[in-house]
Amino acid sequence: MLFKTVWSKGCLVFFAAAFFVAVGMASTGRTNSGQFVGTEACAECHDVEYENFKKFSKKAHSGDSVKVMAGDLSTEELEECYTCHMTGFGSPGGFVNFDETPDMADAGCEVCHGAGYDHVESGGDSDLIKGDLEISDCETCHNPERVAAFDFKPLMYGGAH
């Protein structure tokens, strides 16, 4: 009986502490929801980059390329395309399909810089987004297998910056 009482109080203390840590993190903007918001949300503060992205970057139109190929691909192959060519596929707020989430049907800012919801909600806290990219960030999509199969290489600043 004593063990049950001590264990119950221990659980209560643990959950109370976890609650206060979570509330503290949320109030300081230090959460990591992993939620995507789409490129349009970036335009409000990063207008020059947004305009360059829309005008010059091939990534801004990557959904069109996937649509052209979709009829020749299995569901599994198509979902592999979505992983790199769509913003946030399989994640909260990310691409679902062309009808439900047409605004996520490109390789937008968040494909490279990470999910932006927390960054946007914090008013632009730079600790909540990947600002300075390295070539290793590109290798998630531009890995040796895909480079060999499609004969493409990553372009740092591919038209956006």
Alpha-carbon distance 106 to 115, whole Å? 14
Alpha-carbon distance 103 to 87, whole Å? 9
Which pLDDT belongs to residue 29? 41
Look at 20-29, 37-46, 54-63, 118-127 and tell me which has the smallest mean pLDDT.
Answer: 20-29
Alpha-carbon distance 12 to 80, whole Å? 43
Give the 3-state secondary structure of residue 88: coil
Q: Over the stretch 85-103, which tens digit does the pLDDT of each residue have?
A: 999 999 999 999 999 999 9
Alpha-carbon distance 94 to 47, whole Å? 22
Average pLDDT over residues 96-118: 94
pTM: 0.73
